[in-house]
Amino acid sequence: MTSDRPDKEILDLFRDEVTRHSGFELLVNTYQKPVYWHIRRLVIDHDDTNDLVQNVFLKIWENLDRFREQSRLFTWIYSIATNEAISFLKHKRTRFLLPLGDVESDLAQSLHDDPYFSGDEVQTTLHQAILTLPLKQRIVFTMRYYDELPYEEMSAILKTSAGALKASYHHAAKKIEKYIMNH
């Protein structure tokens, strides 16, 4: 996460026609890595993640002038990134007419085959456990566990109450714990 100061600087630069590209470059430099890892944890595959990150920043470029600052820039960007990842996973499921479990199984296999994943056995088992979760729980778990987002921030991103997110995270953590104990 970043402070609000860079957000103001980014927005001021972007809204000035002369410095628009500098503002967007600052935005990309500030948010590209966290967006990449947020999406990567959901879709697993490096190449798919890169494609989605490009889509996210294209949408940001096209819509940033309409950003109303009702939330932090980070929150708005993470909402776009999360929606892109969800759409991708739903499209993958319907394109191949796969049940949910088959998509997650395919993602788990791609985790093993991915030359960009350098995790040890414990990390691999954790990722496999996360992939057994329903999509919403997986998103909530990754946002809380990896990104350490407060529930209020997650609530703004996911348009869900903080209480529901806390319950979702608790259930996800219990399922992951059970999976790890059995594997």
Residue 13 has pLDDT above 60, yes or no: yes
Question: What is the separation of C-alpha 42 from the centre of its chain, rounded to a whole number of angstroms?
Answer: 6
Cα 107 vs. chain centroid, distance in angstroms? 15
Q: Can you give the CATH number for the domain in which 63 is found? A: 1.10.1740.10
Contacts of 40 (CB under 8 A, 6+ apart): 46, 49
Identify the CATH number of the domain in which residue 183 sits: 1.10.10.10
Q: Rounded CA gap, 28 and 61, in Å? A: 10
Q: How confident is the model at residue 165 (pLDDT cuts 50, 70, 90)?
A: very high
End-of-domain residue from the set 97, 131, 161 = 97
Are 137 and 84 contained in the same domain?
no
Q: DSSP string spanning 25-79?
A: HHHHHHHHHHHHHHHHHHH--HHHHHHHHHHHHHHHHHHGGG---SS-HHHHHHH
Mean pLDDT of 136-164: 95
Sorting pLDDT into bands at 50, 70 and 90, what band is 78?
very high
8 A C-beta contact, residue 80 and residue 59? yes
What is the reported pLDDT for 127? 86
What are the tens digits of pLDDT across the range 24-71? 999 999 999 999 999 999 998 899 999 999 999 999 999 999 998 889
Which position has the higher pLDDT, 17 or 91?
17
Task: Tell me if 8 is assigned to some domain.
Answer: yes
Last-in-domain residue among 97, 132, 165: 97
The residue segments making up the domain with residue 93 are 1-97
pLDDT at 93: 74
Q: How many domains does the chain have?
A: 2
Query: For residue 122, what pLDDT is reported?
Result: 78
For tokens 């944890």, the residue is 41
Percent of the chain residues topping a pLDDT of 90: 69
Mean pLDDT on 114-138: 79
pTM of the model: 0.83
Tokens describing residue 105:
């199984």
Q: What pLDDT score does 55 carry?
A: 98
Residue 85 has a pLDDT of: 96
Confidence of residue 141 (pLDDT cuts 50, 70, 90): very high
Work out the average pLDDT over 108-137.
Answer: 73
User: Taking 70 as the threshold, does the pLDDT of residue 133 lie above it?
Assistant: yes
For 86-122, what is each residue's pLDDT tens digit? 999 988 877 655 555 554 555 555 555 555 545 567 7
How many Å apart are CA 113 and CA 45, to the nearest integer? 9
